[in-house]
Homo-oligomer: A and B are copies of this chain.
Amino acid sequence: MTDRKEFRDLAPPERAREAIASLDLTPGPETVPLEDARGRVLAERVDAGVDVPGFDRASLDGYALRARDTFGADEADPARLDLVGAVHAGEEPDVTVGEGEAVEISTGAVMPPGADAMVMVERTDVEGGPASGEADEQVLVRTAVAPGDGVMLAGADVAAGERALGPGTRLTPREVGLLSALGVDEVPVRGRPRVGIVSTGDELVRPGEELRSERGQIYDVNSYAVASAVEEAGGEAVTYPHAGDERSEMERVLTTAAEECDLVLSSGSTSASAVDVIYDVIEERGELLLHGVAVKPGKPMLVGRMGESAYVGLPGYPVSALTIFRTFVAPAVRAAAGLPEPKTATVEGRMARRERYGEGRLRYMPVGLVTDGDGGTLVYPVDKGSGATTSLVEADGVVAVDPDTDYLAAGETVTVDLFSPDVRPPSLLGVGEDDPLLSRLLDDLRDPRYLSVGSRQGLRRLRDGTPDVAVTAGPVERDVEADPLGAWTREWGLVVPAGNPEGVDGVAALADRDLRLVNRTTDSGLRTSIGNAVAALADERGVDRREVVESIDGFDLTVRAVESPARKVAAGQADAGVGLRATAERLGLGFVPLGEQTVRVHGNPERSEKDGVRELAAALDGVADLTAEFPGYSSANEETR
């Protein structure tokens, strides 16, 4: 743990951008079949190799003729021409149009020799022919036409040799259409830069494989998230098996990646020693242009070269890695792929609350968005620690906070760079207790966001005015003004192993016997309820509440989510967990009922007209039906507390 690289001289972000721009990621051109050309970028100009159309082409169904034969014709005095044949689309004409003659012709068919115009079928009548028992047919033309009428001349659309599409053109369905018309089935396109992704860290396990948590293993997030971001930016991602922190292995993987790719990104390990090893490898086997950038997150970013390949070291935490990728690396990948910068996707919004800062370097602050009652956008920081993967999906974009900013005031207008131009605020922002029925209810809403922060924290946030609704369970403080949108009750108690082998029958058993409990965090309504049960037991026994608490092994051993205590019980790590009958039955565990608590949905009074809130209110009208799916649940009854 000695010789740690100190990133003392942090480069300004602009220099990092320049350093990355100075690297050459541009791959050679390639040829793709037309059906795969959409989204690609033309590598070279395409001139038309053929005339389109390739022949003088009838634009309508009707009759090909000589224009001068129709001069003076009108409704009353039609020109009368001999019908001498027919040409359909896809046929070579086998007839020539002479003076006083006409040939039936279909849209798209080749004009027969001799004809210089056509008349649409709607302005004609036919006389004679099989129907009337006569051998000869005549066409009565009830209008005069000029030479060229109804005919698209060969090459009129595109002439052979003409410039059709310029180099650098992005191919959409429309360009694919034009290329088809020219008969181009192999399209010269710019190559996609190959981007190698090397996740580092002995602790990484590929998703889908078994995780040994006791060894500190975690799933590899960056390999997939960064690969996905590379593809989104128009690159081709190549994921390498993750490298441990051991130097020779790291060197081997990085060298292979550098040989095979236009750009190598390393990322993944949160261990500083891995960064040190990479630093050394790049310095020895390549060239380090820059180490350390004055941005948060992303301080330990590296930029350099290895052989012919460019190299960028991303921070290890997924949110940081993706932010740095988006900000610094994606523009270079797009440029190498020949893709334009996406239309700036930004929104203006007001800060929902004051946010302090003042670290003296540029900060990309992840934020969530919520639409307020007037249709304005509120912006709130999402900061669960940069190691939290849930920040990935709870944020909608970032606000760049200037190094000189000490704080952003509540109500201050900020500009949010959205993660993509398609990002919109969620239809509904809910916060509070987690509950299985609520989760089910959210499934029926279009694009809701729910932050499971517990009952207390939920009410606090509702009071501060950010969310649309807060959900509480059990008895709660009453000082928040809110619209009651709906409620239901749930049976709570102690989740115990299947068959209740210890014969747990209530809180007293936990206090009196050598049993281990797993509790919920203090924000949770379940914790409040079991706290009340403990208080009742203390009253009954005439002792101090604290005394009962201390006699329960694990009362302060708290876990965060509704199923967490039950899962500890299922894993054999505890004898009882605070929880719901619904959870116990779902996990096949035993249950000792201790009571019912009401789950309430409190609406932000200023958001009652918001679409998402109305949708939720409508869904809550049908909540009685949903309670049947959850053991121990029932419709709320105001008596039930």
Interface presence of A12 (CB below 8 A): no
Please provide the chain A residues from 431 to 464 with a CB less than 8 Å away from any CB of chain B in the complex.
434, 439, 442-443, 445-448, 450, 452
Which residue of the partner chain B has the closest CB to A566?
B161
Q: Is the pair A225, B185 in contact by a Cβ cutoff of 8 Å?
A: no
Interface presence of A180 (CB below 8 A): yes
Q: Is the pair A110, B216 in contact by a Cβ cutoff of 8 Å?
A: yes
Q: Which residues of chain B come closer than 8 Å to A244, judged between CB atoms?
A: 90
Q: Which residues of chain B come closer than 8 Å to A92, judged between CB atoms?
A: 212, 214-216
Q: Which residues of chain B come closer than 8 Å to A434, judged between CB atoms?
A: 162-163
Contact bitstring A49-91, B, C-beta under 8 A = 1, else 0: 0111111010101000000000000000000000000011111
Contact bitstring A257-292, B, C-beta under 8 A = 1, else 0: 000000000000111110000000000000000000
Contact bitstring A207-243, B, C-beta under 8 A = 1, else 0: 1110111111111111111111101100000010000
Contact bitstring A153-164, B, C-beta under 8 A = 1, else 0: 111111111111
How many copies of this chain sit in the oligomeric assembly? 2
Q: Is the pair B173, A322 in contact by a Cβ cutoff of 8 Å?
A: yes
Picked from B88, B155, B201, B217, the residue with its CB within 8 Å of the CB of A54 is: B217
| Complex Cα gap A37–B448 (Å) | 21
Picked from B162, B183, B422, the residue with its CB within 8 Å of the CB of A343 is: B422
Q: Is the pair A155, B439 in contact by a Cβ cutoff of 8 Å?
A: no
Picked from B109, B162, B270, B318, the residue with its CB within 8 Å of the CB of A452 is: B162
Interface presence of A342 (CB below 8 A): yes
Which stretch of A386-394, A614-622, A630-638 is in the interface? A386-394
| Complex Cα gap A623–B153 (Å) | 34
Picked from B47, B175, B185, B269, the residue with its CB within 8 Å of the CB of A393 is: B175
| Complex Cα gap A108–B245 (Å) | 13
Please provide the chain A residues from 100 to 114 with a CB less than 8 Å away from any CB of chain B in the complex.
104, 106-110
Q: Which residues of chain B come closer than 8 Å to A90, judged between CB atoms?
A: 201-204, 215-217, 244
Q: Is the pair A45, B439 in contact by a Cβ cutoff of 8 Å?
A: yes
Interface presence of A327 (CB below 8 A): no
Q: Which residues of chain B come closer than 8 Å to A1, judged between CB atoms?
A: 61, 104, 121
* A202-B89 contact in complex given A50-B211, A160-B563, A183-B219, C-beta closer than 8 Å: yes
Which stretch of A400-408, A554-562, A591-599 is in the interface? A554-562
* A561-B160 contact in complex given A179-B207, A180-B207, C-beta closer than 8 Å: yes
Q: Is the pair B443, A166 in contact by a Cβ cutoff of 8 Å?
A: yes
Interface presence of A168 (CB below 8 A): yes
Contact bitstring A29-42, B, C-beta under 8 A = 1, else 0: 00000110110000
* A231-B322 contact in complex given A59-B387, A560-B155, C-beta closer than 8 Å: no
Q: Is the pair B564, A51 in contact by a Cβ cutoff of 8 Å?
A: yes
Interface presence of A420 (CB below 8 A): yes
Picked from B157, B164, B207, B560, the residue with its CB within 8 Å of the CB of A388 is: B157
Which residue of the partner chain B has the closest CB to A214?
B92
Q: Is the pair B422, A340 in contact by a Cβ cutoff of 8 Å?
A: yes
Q: Which residues of chain B come closer than 8 Å to A184, judged between CB atoms?
A: 207-208
Smallest beta-carbon distance A310→chain B, Å? 20
Interface presence of A589 (CB below 8 A): no
Q: Which residues of chain B come closer than 8 Å to A217, judged between CB atoms?
A: 54, 90
Q: Is the pair A52, B159 in contact by a Cβ cutoff of 8 Å?
A: no
| Complex Cα gap A208–B395 (Å) | 48
Picked from B176, B216, B219, the residue with its CB within 8 Å of the CB of A180 is: B219
Smallest beta-carbon distance A601→chain B, Å? 16
| Complex Cα gap A225–B158 (Å) | 17
Interface presence of A152 (CB below 8 A): yes
Interface presence of A546 (CB below 8 A): no
Q: Is the pair B228, A176 in contact by a Cβ cutoff of 8 Å?
A: yes
| Complex Cα gap A203–B106 (Å) | 11
Please provide the chain A residues from 167 to 209 with a CB less than 8 Å away from any CB of chain B in the complex.
167-170, 172-186, 201-209
With most chain B CB atoms within 10 A of its CB, the pick from A90, A204, A567, A583 is A90
Q: Which residues of chain B come closer than 8 Å to A104, judged between CB atoms?
A: 1
| Complex Cα gap A35–B222 (Å) | 12
* 9 interchain residue pairs of minimum CB distance: A161-B563, A185-B208, A54-B213, A159-B561, A177-B225, A90-B203, A90-B202, A173-B228, A110-B216
18 A-B pairs whose Cβ atoms sit less than 8 Å apart in the complex: A38-B228, A38-B232, A53-B213, A89-B216, A91-B202, A158-B390, A159-B559, A160-B564, A162-B434, A162-B563, A166-B445, A168-B447, A174-B395, A175-B393, A176-B225, A177-B389, A178-B393, A182-B219
Given contacts A57-B387, A106-B273, A162-B434, 7 further A-B contacts (CB under 8 A): A34-B207, A89-B271, A92-B212, A107-B271, A166-B445, A180-B223, A181-B318
